[in-house]
Chain A
Amino acid sequence: MAVLNEEQEMLRDMAREWTVNESPVTEFRKVRASGEPEAFNRDAYATMAQMGWAGVIIPEEHGGSDFGFLSAGLVVEELGKTLTASPLVMNTVAASAIVLGGSDEQKARWLPRLASGEAIATLAVDEGPSHDPAKIETSVSDGKLSGTKAFVHEAHGADLFVVAAKDGLYLVEKGDGVALTTRKLTDQRSHADVTFDGAAAEKLANGGDNLLDDVLDRARVLTAAEMLGMAQQVFDDTLDYLKQRVQFNQVLASFQALQHRMADLFADLAQMRSAVEAGLQAVDAGFGVARAATIAKAEANRVMHTMANEGIQLHGGIGMTDEYDVGFYLKRARVLEQSFGSSSWLKDRFSKLSGY
């Protein structure tokens, strides 16, 4: 765990207390059972926003606390532990696009509402099933944006879309010219293909040429933070299970074959935490962001992938049942692994950033 300041410790403790008491995995089960495509609890999100979580990276002058990404990551990590379904990550990433690239007027109009939870925003970049920001066909002419975005996270609850077009990022409000087709994925969360047909669009003109990369790097580190919480929880649950499950008249935790696998996972988790925290800190420092974010998401992908698989295997047959939570983590893990950079995509980017 990174060395935290007092504000950050308070924020983390508050998030931990709230998720454990008010948003355990049983709350995610309720969201799933409701079958609503937007797949989150509006009351719960309103509470989260009241606690200031939707405005952690938004400047104070626009209604946020400006605590930064390490702080946002602490909250997101806790939400990941209990699989809390909310648009918080996507809203934070979309807000960061406005912070980085918006005009004063755009900031004044949207950021206070995104910080208070009154409005929700999301990011729409990819146009196919695999992350590839180099392949964007969406275009804008005369302020009208047209194109189709695939598997947009948290699309159903969004009032505002930050959309990647060929020549930059645009703000598009839900409404005329915006149509959603629900794409139900294994994680039971909100995903949709979003078709923009001459929708009114405003450019985020102030972020420079790297705005899309900068925003995606923020998506990568926050997604990695959610995965970190998930991986930690799978590890803790698995360890608890091994300590109480008895076979051959002894608890499974006494078998060396299993002890060494847990030691491997523990070491992996340490690596993942270091990489994710360093990614969040790099965003706050504004230095080496592309490299740090790539390492963060690549390590999150690698470790979460193994952790979910080992979590199932070490739970044995009971891990295969819907009654146990571990399967939910596996299904959410794969969706996040494929979002904002698969492992092979991230390794290619790392090579390019390193000059080989």
Chain B
Amino acid sequence: MATQIEPATQTDEDAFRAEVQQFLADNFPAELKGQSNALAGVDGPTNETPAQTKWREAVGARGWGTPTWPKEYGGGGLTKAQAKIIDQEFAKAGAYNPIGGMGVMMFGPTLLEYGNEAQKQEHIPPICRGEIRWCQGYSEPNAGSDLANLQTFAEDKGDHYLVNGQKTWTSGGQWADKCFAIVRTDKSDKHKGISFMLIDMDTPGVEVRPITMISGTSPFCETFFTDVKVPKENLVGEEGQGWTIGKRLLQHERTNISGGGSLARLMGQSLGDIAKKYQPTGADGELADAVLRDKIADFEIRWNSFLLTARRAMEESKAAGGVSEISSVLKKLGTKLSQERSELLIEIRGLQGLGWEGDGFSDGELGAVRAWLFGKATTIYGGSTEIQNNIIAKRVLGMLDHQ
């Protein structure tokens, strides 16, 4: 590992850019160029190569994977402008950010806002170093869209809680080290009886069973809690504050699901270009099927204006500070458009676009089929489209509660 240098917070942009470039030259293993962050994914366990470990540790030591988080908890302590420079220089070098996952996207920002000093000292630095995986204990068999109906109960036992119940759709639960969960501490009040607590996944009584999805993968789990002891110091905020904290975390989740967090990833290849490989074209290079051509253009125009909307929302939320209320709009639009894109890809490829396995299909074709199927979940999880519509109507438009 390179010599530790204090990250400069006041240096001018050019000097900082040079510092990032030097850091990349010293630390980024060439063999990782073009790879993505395996740790951030929820679709498989991490078996880091030595090069991947070296890269994660180098970025983690600087706090540059979480550049704007406070330095005293292991973040970079940098400005947004400097964070942008890191993004730009990493992208130029073909380097991924090795620090990711739910800890970075959702839990960390929420704990920084609501956690006490001891909790921040304990949990934030390992997130900044990419050392532990967090999972989300929210949904239950009878608490999906009606999340506040959750029944998992944490009984007060003096110095600890005794937790019993079942969570479901626990993303990456089988690989997670810890779980941030909302549980019931008071049965007399639906919303005010909910508390936010942190549970070690290796505590006796925690059992995880992966669920096989229609896409053939098992990214989600059922998680059972049987007499699980949770120390009192793992309560975040006050007892009964869990619904407020939990909803705040969901704003971060929505922003990430919609793609607001990573636009470049969503740009993808033009459907028109893909279609030209599968469909006949005229002498002028135009798709011969005028109806399909119109459908593709119709989609791509709306996709472009979604990307512009996500960019606008980011600029506005930067100006205002924090995640914006428009996160519900982005989640609703982005997920629907991604599904539409998958469906159009099938229409473009015909049956060649519905392959399940075998040498007759390219990796890209097979991947698109699994993505099409898995993508059906995106309008259901993270607050279904219908729930987003409720949020927009009530909180943004000020329409009255229908209940």
Residues of A that sit less than 8 Å from B by CB: 1-3, 239, 242-243, 250-251, 253-256, 258-260, 262-264, 266-267, 270-275, 277-278, 294-295, 298-299, 302, 344, 346-348, 350-352, 354-356
Contact = CB atoms under 8 A, between A and B. Distances in A.
Contacts of B402: 254-256, 259
Interface string B328-354: 010011000000000000000000000
B52 to A, nearest CB: 37
A351 B289 CA distance: 12
Given A250-B400, A278-B305, 6 more contacts: A263-B390, A274-B311, A277-B308, A344-B294, A348-B297, A351-B286
A278 B388 CA distance: 26
Interface in B61-100: none
A356 B273 contact: yes
A224 B402 CA distance: 35
Contact of A274 (B300, B312, B397): B312
Contacts of A251: 400
B301 A352 contact: no
B308 A274 contact: yes
A260 B399 CA distance: 10
Contact of B326 (A270, A277, A354): A270
A297 B293 CA distance: 19
Contact of B294 (A243, A255, A266, A347): A347
Contacts of B273: 355-356
B258 to A, nearest CB: 11
Nearest to B306: A271
B392 A263 contact: yes
Nearest to B276: A356
Contacts of B9: none
B401 interface: yes
Given A3-B319, A263-B392, A277-B312, A354 B272 contact: yes
Nearest to B399: A253
B33 interface: no
A253 B306 contact: no
Contacts, number: 128
B305 A350 contact: no
A194 to B, nearest CB: 32
B364 interface: no
B316 A259 contact: no
A267 B286 contact: no
Nearest to A260: B389
B358 interface: no
A263 B312 contact: no
A273 B329 CA distance: 13
Interface in B282-334: 285-287, 293-294, 296-298, 300-302, 304-306, 308-309, 311-312, 315-316, 319, 326, 329, 332-333
B183 interface: no
B377 interface: no
B305 A351 contact: no
A356 B333 contact: no
Contact of A263 (B311, B393, B400): B393
A259 B386 CA distance: 10
B332 A267 contact: yes
A259 B399 contact: yes
B285 A298 contact: no
Contacts of A253: 399-400
B49 interface: no
B270 interface: yes
A258 B399 CA distance: 10
A356 B397 contact: no
Given A1-B316, A259-B390, A354-B270, A254 B400 contact: yes
B399 A254 contact: yes
Contacts of A277: 308, 312
B396 interface: yes
Contact of B389 (A255, A263, A295): A263
Given A2-B312, A299-B305, A356 B388 contact: no
A25 B305 CA distance: 30
B401 A254 contact: yes
Contacts of B294: 344, 347-348, 351
Contacts of A263: 332, 388-390, 392-393, 397
Nearest to A353: B297
A250 B400 CA distance: 10
B230 interface: no
B285 A356 contact: yes
Contact of B333 (A256, A258, A271): A271
Nearest to B336: A267
B400 A272 contact: no
B389 A299 contact: no
Given A254-B399, A267-B333, A271-B305, A356 B286 contact: yes
A173 to B, nearest CB: 39
B194 interface: no
A266 B329 contact: yes
A346 B300 CA distance: 12
With most chain A CB atoms within 10 A of its CB, the pick from B272, B296, B402 is B402
Contact of B308 (A275, A302, A348): A275
A259 B328 CA distance: 14
B135 interface: no
Contact of A267 (B275, B386, B392, B400): B392
A356 B344 CA distance: 15
A350 B285 contact: no
B300 A354 contact: yes
Interface string B263-288: 00000001011011000010001110
A262 B297 contact: no
A343 B32 CA distance: 45
Given A253-B400, A263-B393, A275-B305, A355 B272 contact: yes
